[in-house]
Structure 1
């Protein structure tokens, strides 16, 4: 009888261990799907620009923490407290995100964030930060995946809008940098012949960052843009 109960207990322990392993293996996947759902919600993409900004933007990148279920839940609960100042779209990589002022934990859980209070689309250097979930779908993950796989081609188009105008950029550089190298977020007029966009996302270790630069190729009012361009931003 004791032997029988030992066998049953052993089976139960094995089942529990297998369950724990399965949960651990799928944790990143489900976390990534949650992040994708929050940041890419079509309703939120359309209406976040009408929100009332209730929090002072935080531009201290050192205070940013890795994405977690807790941080995603917090961002989802207070998403109406953050107002989008624009959107970034990279159709070739299925990226469409709201842009928020600052690089706080909530802002980066809801979309992409700006590094400086004075930056303007289509002017000088427009730097943006975005999370890398290493899932190929959420936030700036598609850019990281494409770079690692050798599929981030020069000339890839980037579209920005401040809800009034559309700004067109094309990628001309992409390489990995030290996580603490923030010089590329500055305005460097001596080295920039044209206005640029600078995008940053962490590598899978968190010790480095992928830096992507795009040069401005043109702009126009959103109202006069083609239906195809408006559709990119789901207008």
Structure 2
């Protein structure tokens, strides 16, 4: 049996006290660090709530789209100008999805765009995703929206947050995104791959509508045209200009369960 001397006992007690004091000193430091982190998150939320709203909105529209089957072109409404709604208005518009016709999905991985594509350009379709800008029965151009053929044109909102719908194109048009990114569209059976080739800012008048028309050149070399508002003060809700993103058609290949999830974040069960 071994016995500790009084000196050893005092040293052991002293060591425990030192450790206890160190722990007590660490507590306010830990609390301070947590407060700084919380303050940082609160600041980001207060200054940039659109970041959280944008990501949440992307998740919502993708989840809601999965309730709709892919359909072929039918009669749709095509409006030439749909003002940007507020976040509150978006929520209300999404409650009425009875007339939506899901045509496809679009993905731009480099810009983190993943959206369903519906027929037409009404306030309801654009609240739920992107919309086809023309059709055989649109009463304006009377041109079918055919993937991989001539000029496939889509429109989407720019919420001025660089995140939601086609908002990332605003950042790209200002020269802060990668050039030559790939654009993918699927109709549930095939994937159509396009490569971005050009970007423009044009007036919201006849000049903008010229970009979505089929031409002899696009009949020979098919393209995709993506259109969104160019948001600049003081025209946040009534933009006077449009961003035009143009891409060349590269190839068409089968949609499978792997690329359905990887490219479009859609369930493999939706593959035709």
**1:64-213 → structure 2 map (5 Å cutoff):** 64-117=82-135, 118-153=144-179, 155-180=180-205, 181=207, 182-190=209-217, 193-205=220-232, 206-213=239-246
Structure 1: runs of 5+ lacking an equivalent: 1-24
Change (3 A) 1:213 1:105: same
How many Å separate the matches in 1 of 2:249 and 2:214?
A: 15
Structure-2 separation of matches of 1:86 and 1:149: 28
Q: Which one has the largest radius of gyration?
A: 2
Take 1:123 and 1:148, find their aligned partners in 2: how far apart are those partners?
A: 29
For 2:14, the equivalent position in structure 1 comes to none
- Contact kept, 8 Å, 1:61 with 1:104, in 2: the verdict is no
Confirm or deny: 8 A CA contact 1:167 1:218 kept in the other structure.
yes
2:249 is the counterpart of 1:231: no
Task: Give the distance between the partners of 1:128 and 1:218, measured in 2 at CA.
Answer: 19
SS of corresponding position for 1:185: coil
Structure 2 gaps, min length 5: 1-44, 136-143, 233-238, 268-272
Matched residues in 2 for 1:105 and 1:175: separation? 24
Root mean square deviation of aligned Cα: 2.7
Q: Secondary structure, in 3 states, of the residue corresponding to 1:61?
A: coil
Q: Are the counterparts in 1 of residues 70 and 188 from structure 2 also a CA contact under 8 Å?
A: no
Aligned pairs, number: 204
Change (3 A) 1:152 1:212: farther
Q: Deviations over 1:149-175 (max 9, x none)?
A: 43241x200000011110000000111
Instruction: Describe the superposition over 1:33-56 as per-residue Cα deviations: whole angstroms up to 9, x where unpaired.
Output: 5465344324224333369x9x96
Shift of residue 74, structure 1, vs aligned partner:
2.6
Q: What CA distance in whole angstroms lies between the structure 2 residues aligned with 1:32 and 1:77? A: 22
